[in-house]
Amino acid sequence: MKRYSLLLPLLAVVFAVACTDSTSPANSHALLAPRNPDLGVIGNKPPPPVDAAIVITISSPVTFYGSFTGVYFANGTSVESAAAAQQIGDESLTFLGSAWLRLNNVQPAGFGASANARFQRTETKLFGNGTLMIGDVTIRIDEVTSFKASPTCEPGQLCAEIDFNATIGNDHDHTGHAVAFGCGIVTPPEGEPYYTCGSE
């Protein structure tokens, strides 16, 4: 029993010393934040998303047109890659980075889009999802085949041009084309807000 009687006080002393020997100061989390951030080290912030007016055409035996609203975002470059793409004749290589075009949940009368309706490009990977409503026709976005993205999107400027495959009902043989332009929202003192593209 005597060998255990010395062990307990020894453990208490070791525990007390370990608790008093702190390895970091009490305000260590505050010391992690940079005081004067250097943008050369941290990098540039991506541009903010911008409002966009979107015209979508669905081609099948009958052609459907729709006017939609959404948000466009691009974080990439195209100046250097555009020269290389023109030399080899492949316009899809003119944009390096990420871009997406998301359709708003609320659309102009006669048109609609599901909450997940979007087109996306990350480098050369293309993605599309969601459903569109043009009148009483429901169109499902199946696959994006082309996404030409602009690194900037100013009012009236072409921001993105997208080709995709679509399904109407059980028929998978439809193609779609979406064109997005930079637009601004005007909120008049009276009446509904509306989009304006360019100098109107």
Q: What confidence tens digit (pLDDT) does each residue in 2-59 have? A: 555 666 666 566 666 666 555 555 555 555 555 655 555 555 666 778 889 999 999 9
φ/ψ (deg, to 5) at 127: -150, 140
Q: What is the pLDDT of residue 100?
A: 93
Highest mean pLDDT among 9-13, 94-98, 116-120, 169-173: 116-120
pLDDT score, position 38: 56
Q: What is the pLDDT of residue 89?
A: 57
Over residues 95-123, the mean pLDDT reads: 90
Q: What is the pLDDT of residues 128-171, one digit of tens each?
A: 999 999 999 999 999 999 999 888 888 888 999 999 999 998 99
153/70 Cα distance (integer angstroms): 13
Which has more pLDDT, 183 or 187? 183
Rounded CA Rg of the chain: 28
| Cα 117-47-177 angle, rounded to 5 deg | 35
Q: Work out the end-to-end distance of the chain between its first and last CA atoms, rounded to an integer number of angstroms.
A: 95
Confidence at residue 61, expressed as pLDDT on a 0 to 100 scale: 81
Distance CA 178, CA 70 (A): 12
Strand boundaries in the chain, DSSP class E: 50-59, 64-77, 96-103, 111-113, 118-122, 125-129, 131-134, 137-149, 158-168, 171-182, 184-186, 194-196
